[in-house]
Amino acid sequence: MTDGAGDAGEESADASSPSGEGEVTDQSGTAERTHIDYGVDSGPAVPDTTDPDFEEPGWYLNRELSALSFQKRVLAEATDPRTPLFERLRFLSLFTRNTDEFCMKRVGGLKQQMAGDVTELSPDGRTPAEQWELALETLAGMFDRQDACYRRVVGELLPEAGAEIVEYESLSTERQRALRDHFRAQILPTLTPLTVDPTRTFPFISNLSLSLAVQTRADGEAPKFSRVKVPENQPRLLDVADVVGGAGQASERTRFVLLEEVIGHNLDLLFPNVEVVSWSTFRVTRNAEVRRNEEVAEGLIEMIEGLLRDRRFATVVRLEVSAEMSQSVREFLATQLDLDEREVFERTAPLNLRALDRVRELDRPDLSLPSWTPQPHPRFAALDEDADESVFDVIREDDVLVHHPYHSFDGTVQRLLSAAAADDDALAIKVAIYRTTHDSKVIESLIEAARNGTEVAVMVELKARFDEENNLRWVRRLEEEGIHVAYGTVDLKAHSKTALVVRREADGVRLYSHVGTGNYHAETARAYVDLGLMTCDPAIGQDLVQLFNSFTGHSDQRDYGTLLVAPSTLRPALVERIRAEAEIASAGGEGRIVAKMNALEDRALTAELYRAAAAGVDIDLIVRDVCRLRPGVEGVTDTVTVRSVVGRFLEHSRIFYFGNDGDPRYYIGSADWMERNLDRRVEAVAPIEDPDLRARLDEILDLYLADNRRAWEMTADGSYVQCRPADAADVLRDVQQTLMDRAAARGPDEAD
């Protein structure tokens, strides 16, 4: 990533970042720093530190507001003038995707608790209703900032760069006529107007669908309401030149028009011989936190299929409406959808900015980040296929640490599974799959292996949220091939990222293991930062044998020799390691913890970290998303820093380091420090013992702690300040760019 690749000549302070609540800039040396608030105010008061009681709610930041703070950091990438224009469009789209999911999962879950009269307080002492209100109020301000960013980035900067999204009415009569002909031939036949009147009830509105609210009137009648769904199988952004043709079109400029505008301005063809009084857009979000009684379900597959049906008809938790919508139509929709006014959000930008991904398909490298191709792993790139060297030879020689997307998934993890599938000496292959692609090479390798006579067992987690349907499809395909498939258990999600290859060799049977932080998903491996250990350590292999047996058989495996496995051994092991660091610091030693994860949500582990910090342990936390802990509280967490890195790739790896008085412990694995991961999921965390791989993890962690381009630091009130170079002489350090540069520079002769 080239930091100077942003919009040339753009002003230093981005006009799309309004100076409203929670987002201001101040000067630090010669660099501007962006400040992002915690919630709807300046953050909760820090508790009394004279004799801290870590049972007090004030020590714990709210999960929902912390999650929304992360989304503000995502949006800040769209407002940052240092970010290339197309990348800013990507972050606008990502912000929409992420807040959609937040509303479906978190807001939906809170609303469900309220409906069930749940009164249990969150660790920070709030009721579900209080959290719901705070979340909606915070979201309202965030949506205003996103709309302002859209006006700046899409309304001003994109046209300056030679592309634009234009209003239908701004087009010439000739082009409007061509679009009308296109509408009549290509779009009109797909539309189904649904009118509400005494004989026709209000229609079902599907989740996240974009709709037109249309008012029509016949002579002497009151206006009638109709819903017209914007078809999802049509391009949301129409390239005017493609529809109209090249005549009169400036070759250097690309113009798009929104599909809903084309529909809206030609509604007379859909509603002939009546007056179209008004039209506006709206979008509905439904609760994804639907539940099925797993104990009485006849089978897990039937339960998941029922859950998918329930989710489709779940309670509405948000209504987005365009600013043009009349108050009467807005009130009508809110009433029909049984919504509180606080759940209705008026938007001045087009609804659902995921459509901006279409603009990024234009061939404009000057507006984009430099392309990145994951590199061959040095250990595997050096393989001499002509000398019959294999992946197994490499792993047998030394453990291998793979780092995606810097290392190729196809050239590492997929290569191992493909080699095992074609290997006559492979006796068995076992894989735990949480998410995978719809055209997964991993699954195809497992099918090939089964056809070649290898015993194959696959754990497919059917309850992986929003991937249930894809996983069901793969389950059926695997079972058709006669492969042993386990679906997980009714009370635990199998979230571990593990694979095992059992191989016959000259000196006996050997176990080849992969324990990772990311899914067996080739697409996300190009966009998510993840780590994986490949090893033939027999202790790890035997632990994986027991883990897979617990997936497929009747067992109550609780003890593992090397792996830390949730829900049995992981939590007590982490508590033991944190307390050991506290004892070292209390005795005058150098207690040290560095932990990188997606979320620190578990109250008990957070309390353990507080006690360790109070004892003098030096703690650096690199937490992408939710973090309940307050750093920098005088006398308690002076020795704690919390950083969040937001960049080109989604930070997804988990690394845990404990200094252990000079005999450090290193771990990587699938688990965040969240209650669900520690107590309600099957997770696997592996120790890293090889000195070279430990040095590699040290290098990675040091880069994250030194980043002054992508990192944000949390303050004691839960707000975040963007890291910038201290002055003009300070070197710009971008962890993701550095890792890309180093991966590209490492040759096959250099160990990794």
The structure tokens listed for 16 are 């799309």
For the question of residue 495 being annotated catalytic, the response is yes
Spatial separation of the C-alpha atoms in residues 306 and 293, rounded to whole Å: 11
Please count the CA atoms within 13 angstroms of the CA of 210 that sit on its side-chain side: 23
Question: Which member of 403, 495, 521, 652 is catalytic?
Answer: 495
CA distance readout (Å), 600 to 191, 305, 337, 431, 660: 47, 32, 35, 27, 22
Strand partners, 645: 711
- Cis before residue 567, ω within 30 degrees of 0? yes
The encoded tokens of residue 525 equal 């491996």
Phi, psi of 113 (to 5 degrees): -65, -40
* Four-CA torsion 121, 127, 130, 136, nearest 10 degrees: 80
Q: How many CB atoms lie within 10 A of CB 466?
A: 12
In degrees rounded to 5, what are phi and psi of residue 358?
-65, -35
Strand partners of residue 75: none
Strand order in the sheet with 237-239: 163-166, 254-258, 237-239
Phi, psi for 401 (deg, rounded to 5): -110, 120
Give which of 280, 261, 266 is closest to 166, Cα–Cα.
261
Alpha carbon distance 117, 314 (integer Å): 18
Run of H or E including 232: none
Q: Are 702 and 692 in contact (CB under 8 A)?
A: no
Residue 197: strand pairing partners: 200
Pairing of strands 618-623, 640-645: parallel
User: Catalytic residues, which ones?
Assistant: 495
